[in-house]
Structure 1
Amino acid sequence: MIVTLSSFRPLLEEFLAARGDKVTAVVPDNVHARRESGNPGYTIRTIQRWDDYTALAGLARELEPLGVTAIATLEEPCVRAAAFLRGLLGVPGQDFSSAVACTDKSVMKRRLTKAGIPVAEHREVYSTQEIGECLDELGGDIVVKPRHGFGTLNTYRVNSPQRLEELISAGAFEPPRSLPTDFNASTIAQQLGKVGYLVERYIDVDVEYHCDLLLHEGAEVFCLASRYGQPLLESSSRTIGSVLLDPESAEAGTVLELTRVAAAQLGVSEGFGHCEVLRDRSGQWWVGEFASRPGGSMIPRMLQLHYGIDTLALLAEQLTGRMPRVESVSHSGTLAWRAVPADAGVITDMTDEAQLRSLPGVVDVQVALRPGDFATGVLGTTSYAAFVFCTGDTPEQAEQRAEAARNACSVTVTPSSPDGLSPIGKDGYR
């Protein structure tokens, strides 16, 4: 029996069930009805919140007679819950100490700092007054983010007392008035005083990278570096995307090295990892954050298109006790992707997918929203209308083609805000 944990999408449980694996999916109470309505080919159990460890202990007692052999998740809010259940049920995989280090940004930064890995100077805070004190202490330019957050949600750059007051007045550090249903079980819904925020000295980032790896019993299956089109907190276009780097290049080499030492210091020896690496304008390198899960958004699709890396298939092999294998990571040229944003409201018109596919270098288009769908507006680095993927002989050529394809995709929206679907953290991704 394989147990999966998910709030957002049933990708893993559906994949495993389609293979014929026996699966039990644990989901939040408020998405249970929606999951059951799809007639899933797996058993569903529910929990109200992922950080309710008393409820998780009760769930473990219910699962124990089922002969659980593996527990897995693809989602950041579920990482600690999955590790907690592993410990109670005695199954292999990431332990709770490592899971905390990979999901609590304060613990993460303390561990990396102790190991001599360069990270931004930081403080824990539990009130807006403490944020103001850190603004003065850390040089008048800081980044404020939830300790247990994800996807840059509720993440803000604060470079003046006036900006801090604007955010406080807007309720930026209070629980959101309404959330998409899928987010309600996560710590994003909790108050500043209960969960806390991390305040970091602002790094003047020139280039931001991500590195994605898979480990099995301490052995590396793959480790691949990519470069974001823009530093995530500096984007003015409300879009994201990245390009794969030549693994043999000097910049990729630095990213790979920092990722590997970060994984080791955080106790990650099994499963996926996703590391954010920064280079500032003086040329200094920093580790931003490390997550013990696959990269989000369209990063898995990029790896699949270029290298044939199937994230779900590799994880399924690992969960059933087999060594996941990748044929080769050598490949000519490279690939870039870009996301197409949409404002909050009902989509009334959108560029045709076939038209996008006809553009130079385009190898794939993933359409997430269509005319008639409601767009929540960009939530951190989530909730986009479409994604385009382009090849190129060099990273620069692939990026230019992806930018052109993104700009060619027009999305027309009629403003609207149905109950329970209002954007959150709209200043969190710049």
Structure 2
Amino acid sequence: MHVLVLSTGNPLLENALLAAGHTVTVLQPAGTAAVPGTARHTIEHWDDLDALTALEPALPRADAIATIDEQAIVAAAHLRQLRALPGLSVAAAHAYTDKATMKTALAAAGLPVAQHRVVRHADEVATAADEFGWPVLVKPRAGLATLNTFVVRNPDHLKELVDAKAFDTRITDPTGRLTAGHALDSLHEARHGFLVEQFLDVDAEFFCDLYVHRGIVLLAVPGRYDAPLLQSVGDVSFDTALPPEHPEARDIADLATRAAAALGAQSGVVHCEILRDRTKGLFVGEAGARPGGGSITELASVMYAFDLPATLAALATDEVPDLDGTPRFPALTAVMVPAPAGTVAHVADRDAIEALPGVLDADIRLTVGQPAPAGIGTVTRAGRVLYVPDNLKTLDQEVANLRAALDIRVEPLTAA
């Protein structure tokens, strides 16, 4: 099969399709590296659908069009529509990537979501806050990794944020993968406005990745973040895949499944964020038509013993992947490696960490004498440790002990 893959620079899907024997053409932003073994076409911006329409006749015939990149979901759907190919529709692609459309569709389906309003300027935030009650949450309509997402506590705080240019500041991207989309734009740059949301008093945040074939959920992988994501931006964190018998796992998977059905059936992975309000229960936060970020897909594949690249390749070509659904561990945690800004002076040896009880694998991307790699939003780049918890009730302390064993020491950067 010939597959056209839209990619921002992570070649996971392209290499998986090549390994499965498929022919692959990649459409990617200009300036990103070519993937060996593939034909290559470039674009300047994913959201320039007129340019994509003009480019389409020059693209080779393909049997399928696929992506696992948030920024390229609408573009992939647009090209499918031009080619009359099966897969996620343009309407569903917008529902998965535009948070205003998403929340409207989820609410219409009877799912619990925070109230929201679309505004175009910080001057309009107070009116929405007067309706919902202070504080409120501000976020882009299209975004990822909590970029440009923050709480506005009251009118005085709003003024402080406006004076500090919080609504006019663009995000810096150390990965270089987001320049062909709008994720780096300031809130005031957003062509279609941004969201003001009802503030939820979140005491826990969960995720659930659904592996779906033609709208049928083959595997649901519920899990929990160590803290709500807005509380962990720029901080160390850990994610845990929960066992199916966990008290909230079934409810998490059920809400995620209902959300995916409301937004649009497809073959692929749907990533959902579920929030627990202290007094109001569970809410659907967001859902994406792509795998979870960070180590979530790795947690799923290790917990349930499946080949992640082969699974993504199968779903991209409308095949049914081999998913057993039997967990290998009572729970599984990905502990993100802390990386404060500065030059790395010391870090424990990988073999020493992997020799610790419960550790399955340590990926430590810190080199003594080199700067610690910068993250972006909730995305960390210094590595992770896969760990089987001894007891979920003592997991916080277990992770603290593991981080102490990493013994990371960083010398502050000095001005030139």
Report the TM-score, using the length of structure 1 for normalisation: 0.89
Other structure's SS at 2:80 match: helix
Amino acid of the residue matched to residue 182 of structure 1?
R
**2:56 paired residue number:** 60
Q: How far does residue 157 in structure 1 lie from its aligned partner after superposition?
A: 1.3
Corresponding residue to 1:412 among 404, 410, 413: 410
1:197 aligns with 2:191: no
Q: What is the alpha-carbon root mean square deviation over aligned residues?
A: 2.3
1:305 aligns with 2:302: yes
Counterpart Cα distance in 1 of 2:146 and 2:72? 17
Which range moved further: 182-191 or 348-357? 348-357
**1:129 paired residue number:** 123
Q: How far does residue 208 in structure 1 lie from its aligned partner after superposition?
A: 1.0
Percentage identity across aligned positions? 37
Q: CA deviation digits over 1:187-212, x for unaligned, max 9?
A: 12334242422111111112111011
**2:378 paired residue number:** 381
Structure 2 residues not aligned, in runs of 5+: none
Counterpart Cα distance in 2 of 1:146 and 1:176? 12
**2:40 paired residue number:** 44
Q: How far does residue 237 in structure 1 lie from its aligned partner after superposition?
A: 7.2
Q: How far does residue 329 in structure 1 lie from its aligned partner after superposition?
A: 2.1
Corresponding residue to 1:262 among 249, 252, 259: 259
Other structure's SS at 1:239 match: coil
Q: How far does residue 302 in structure 1 lie from its aligned partner after superposition?
A: 1.0
Q: How far does residue 393 in structure 1 lie from its aligned partner after superposition?
A: 4.9
Q: 1:21 to 1:223 in 2, by over 3 A?
A: same
Amino acid of the residue matched to residue 410 of structure 2?
T
Alignment of 1:233-244 (within 5 A): 233-235=230-232, 238-244=235-241
Other structure's SS at 1:183 match: coil
Amino acid of the residue matched to residue 9 of structure 1?
N
**1:277 paired residue number:** 274
Q: 1:373 to 1:329 in 2, by over 3 A?
A: farther
Other structure's SS at 1:198 match: strand
Q: How far does residue 375 in structure 1 lie from its aligned partner after superposition?
A: 4.2
Counterpart Cα distance in 1 of 2:317 and 2:51? 27
Q: How far does residue 11 in structure 1 lie from its aligned partner after superposition?
A: 1.7
Q: 1:177 to 1:306 in 2, by over 3 A?
A: closer
Amino acid of the residue matched to residue 136 of structure 2?
I
Corresponding residue to 1:82 among 76, 79, 84: 76
Alignment of 1:107-146 (within 5 A): 107-146=101-140
**1:213 paired residue number:** 210
Contact 1:141 1:202 in 2 (8 A): yes
Aligned residues: 411
Q: 1:189 to 1:195 in 2, by over 3 A?
A: farther
Q: 1:74 to 1:362 in 2, by over 3 A?
A: same
Contact 2:225 2:238 in 1 (8 A): yes
Q: How far does residue 20 in structure 1 lie from its aligned partner after superposition?
A: 3.1
Q: 1:58 to 1:368 in 2, by over 3 A?
A: farther
1:187 aligns with 2:185: no
Counterpart Cα distance in 1 of 2:140 and 2:193? 6
**Structure 1 segments (4+ residues) deviating >4 Å:** 372-376, 397-400
Other structure's SS at 2:248 match: helix
Q: How far does residue 229 in structure 1 lie from its aligned partner after superposition?
A: 0.9
Q: 1:401 to 1:363 in 2, by over 3 A?
A: farther
Counterpart Cα distance in 2 of 1:247 and 1:161? 44
Amino acid of the residue matched to residue 57 of structure 1?
T
Which range moved further: 106-115 or 172-181? 172-181
Counterpart Cα distance in 2 of 1:90 and 1:370? 49
Contact 1:152 1:381 in 2 (8 A): yes
**2:167 paired residue number:** 173
Report the TM-score, using the length of structure 2 for normalisation: 0.91
Amino acid of the residue matched to residue 27 of structure 1?
Q
Other structure's SS at 1:356 match: helix
Counterpart Cα distance in 2 of 1:331 and 1:178? 39
Q: How far does residue 222 in structure 1 lie from its aligned partner after superposition?
A: 0.4
Counterpart Cα distance in 1 of 2:341 and 2:127? 35
Corresponding residue to 1:287 among 281, 284, 293: 284
Counterpart Cα distance in 2 of 1:46 and 1:411? 42
Q: How far does residue 414 in structure 1 lie from its aligned partner after superposition?
A: 4.1
Counterpart Cα distance in 1 of 2:173 and 2:134? 31
Other structure's SS at 2:107 match: helix
Q: CA deviation digits over 1:340-384, x for unaligned, max 9?
A: 232345444433222322222111112344345544533111133
Counterpart Cα distance in 1 of 2:395 and 2:58? 50
